Structure 1
Amino acid sequence: MSKIELMDRYIYSFEEQISSSEICKFVDTVFGINLESVLVLDKKSLQAPSSNNMDQSTMSPSRTVIDSYLDLAKHKMTGMEIRKMLNQIFGINLDGISALEKERISLFSKGQWVVQNAKDLFIIHTGIEDVDVTVLPSIYFMEHSGLEGLPSELQNSLSHLGYNHDKKIRGYYFSNPSGMAVTDQFKGQTIGAIIEVIRKSYSDL
C-alpha cells in the first residue's frame, strides 16, 4: 500500500472532520515531514479565527492555519482535499513526494530531508520558501557513473528550464526572478527531466 493510499484510509477512518493535530502526526510519522516546523506560505490564514476549542496561543502557526482551513470546509474533507490544502498552506505536494520515492531522487525541502535513500542518483534541494531550486548529483551517482557532476543530457534539459550551472556545487541552480515560490508545474518539469535521464541512461546503476 502506498503512502497516499494509507493516508486516504486513515482520514476515512474518522467519523468526523480530522483535526490538525492528527494531520500533523500522520504526516510526520508516515512522510517524515514535521509540519509544525515548516514555514507557512499562506500568511492570511494566520489571522483567521478558528473554532478549535484549544488555546491557540499554545498551538503552532502551522496547526492554526490548518484548523482555519478545516473550519471553512462544509463537509468532511477527503485525503485528496487535505493534500491539496497542505500544498496551498506549505507548498508541500505529498502526491509528488510519494511518487518520487520510486524514482531514486532525493528531496531536501522546507529545511528537512523529505525523501532520501542510499542509492538515489540525484538530489533536488529547495530553499525555505521554494523560491530557489538546486539539482545535484548524489555521491552514489558520481561513484558509480564515473562522472563528477550532472550528465550532459540533464544539464541541457535544466538549462532549457532556466537553470544555471554552478561549478562549486557541481549542480544547476534556479532562482525565481519574481521572488515567489516556483510553481508546481516548474517542479514537475524539473522532476520529469531528471526521471527521463534516469530511465534512459542510468536505471541500471
Structure 2
Amino acid sequence: MQKRFTKPLSLLCVLYLLTGIMSLGQESVLAETDVKETSQQETLHKYYPTEIMEPVRKSMRINKHSTEKDEVIMSRPKVEILERYYFGENKPKVGYDVKRAVEAIYGYDLDEISSYLYHAADKSFSRVSTNTINQEQYSAEIMKGVRKSLGIKEDSTSMDEQIMAMPKAKVFEHYFNGTANEKYAQEAKEVILNIYGINLQQISGLKNMGISIASKGIWITHSETDLFVIHSTTDDVGVKIYPTEYFKSSTGTSNLPNDVKNQIKELGFSYDNQIGAYYYENPKGVSVPDQFKGKVVQSLITEIKSEYAYLVK
C-alpha cells in the first residue's frame, strides 16, 4: 500500500516547491500593482474623537452632545469636517489658513485627499502619484511668517537655508507663531491626525530615512532614492511592504532582505500572492495603530542603518 502513495506524494512535493519559487518571483512583479483587498472582515464603524465631534455638531446647529446626526457627519468629506470643526470653534479663517499651510509646507492638498478618500474603495491600494515634492523654498507667505517668528525681517533671506533644513513640523509651528496664531499650530496637527489620520509631527522626522510611505492616495513621504515602501489601504486597515526600484537596481535583488522579512513576520505580516507583497491587516477591522506602524518603521530603519546606509541619499 505504501508504494501506491509514493508518486503522488513526490508530485505534491514538487508542486509545493514550484509554488514557493513562483511566489518568490511574484514579490517584485506584483508589489506595485493596484489591487483590491478582498477580505470579508467587516470594518467597524468609526467616529472622530469627542473634541472633533462636538464643534462639528455645533456647526450643524445641533446640540454638541447629541449623536443624532453622527452618521451624517461620518459620511461627509473630511475637508468639510475640518472646516466645520474650526467653524464650530468660532475660528472659520483658521481652517482656511491650516489648509494653505499644510499644502505650502508639506505639499499635501487636503481638498484633494478628502475627495480621494470620499470616493475610493475602503479596501483598495491607491495608485499613488509619481510626482515627488522637491521644495527649494516655501512660498513667500510661509517664509515671511517663519522669518517673523525667528525675529528677523520678513524680507531677509539670511536664514533661509536654516529654515529649509528645519523639520516641517517646526516650520509649521513657526509659521503660525509668526502670524500671531501660535496656539493653533499644535491644535491643527492634532485635528488633522484625528480627521485625516495623517501624523504631521511623525512625518517630519522621516525625511532622508530611506522609507517611502503611501497613504490617502498620496506620498506621505517619498524620494526616488528610498529603499522600501510602506503602503496602506484607503481605510488604513491593511498595509503592504515592498522594495523600491532603486533598491532593486542597486542591490540586484527583487526581494525584501531576509532580516526585514523575519522582523515583519513577527509583527504579523505574511506574503500575499494576490497582492504580491508582505501584507498585514488589522484583525479588529480598524486602522492599524500608530504604535504598530512605529514598530514597522523602526524595523526598516534598523536594517537600513545596518546594511544599506550607503544607498541613502
SS in 2 for 1:19: helix
Determine which structure has the larger strand proportion and give its number.
Answer: 1
Residue 168 (structure 1) shift: 5.9
Residue 145 (structure 1) shift: 1.2
Which residue does the alignment assign to 1:185? 291
Check 1:118–1:76 CA distance in 2 against 1; reply closer, same or farther (3 A cut): closer
Check 1:163–1:104 CA distance in 2 against 1; reply closer, same or farther (3 A cut): same
2:227 corresponds to which of 121, 128, 152: 121
SS in 2 for 1:136: strand
Residue 77 (structure 1) shift: 3.2
Residues 151-176 of structure 1, C-alpha deviations (whole Å, 9 max, x = no match): 00000110011111135665311111
Larger radius of gyration: 2
Matches of 1:177 and 1:150 in 2, distance apart?
Answer: 24
| Contact 1:164–1:174 (Cα < 8 Å) also in 2 | yes
1:142 corresponds to which of 240, 245, 248: 248
Matches of 2:273 and 2:303 in 1, distance apart?
Answer: 20
Residues 94-138 of structure 1, C-alpha deviations (whole Å, 9 max, x = no match): 112111112011111101122111110011111112111111100
Matches of 2:235 and 2:289 in 1, distance apart?
Answer: 12
Residue 79 (structure 1) shift: 2.0
Which sections of structure 2, spanning at least 5 residues, go unmatched?
A: 1-89, 119-180
| Contact 1:111–1:127 (Cα < 8 Å) also in 2 | no
Residues 52-74 of structure 1, C-alpha deviations (whole Å, 9 max, x = no match): xxxxxxxxxxxxxxxxxxxxxxx
What is the one-letter code of the residue matched to 1:162? G
Which residue does the alignment assign to 2:263? 157
The normalised TM-score by structure 1 is: 0.70
What is the one-letter code of the residue matched to 2:188? I
Any residues of structure 2 matched to 1:103-118 within 5 Å, and which? Answer: 103-118=209-224
Once the two structures are overlaid, the 10-residue window that deviates more, 151-160 or 75-84, is 75-84
SS in 1 for 2:280: strand
Check 1:141–1:170 CA distance in 2 against 1; reply closer, same or farther (3 A cut): farther
2:301 corresponds to which of 164, 185, 195: 195
Check 1:101–1:156 CA distance in 2 against 1; reply closer, same or farther (3 A cut): same
Matches of 1:151 and 1:80 in 2, distance apart?
Answer: 38
Matches of 1:33 and 1:130 in 2, distance apart?
Answer: 18
| Contact 1:148–1:170 (Cα < 8 Å) also in 2 | no
Pairing 1:173–2:248 present: no
| Contact 1:120–1:141 (Cα < 8 Å) also in 2 | yes
Which residue does the alignment assign to 1:91? 197
Q: Aligned-residue CA RMSD in angstroms?
A: 2.1
SS in 2 for 1:117: coil
Matches of 2:182 and 2:105 in 1, distance apart?
Answer: 22
Which residue does the alignment assign to 1:22? 97
Matches of 2:209 and 2:306 in 1, distance apart?
Answer: 13
The normalised TM-score by structure 2 is: 0.47
Determine which structure has the larger helix proportion and give its number.
Answer: 2
Which sections of structure 1, spanning at least 5 residues, go unmatched?
A: 1-15, 41-74
Matches of 2:182 and 2:279 in 1, distance apart?
Answer: 41
Residue 203 (structure 1) shift: 0.4
Matches of 1:159 and 1:119 in 2, distance apart?
Answer: 25
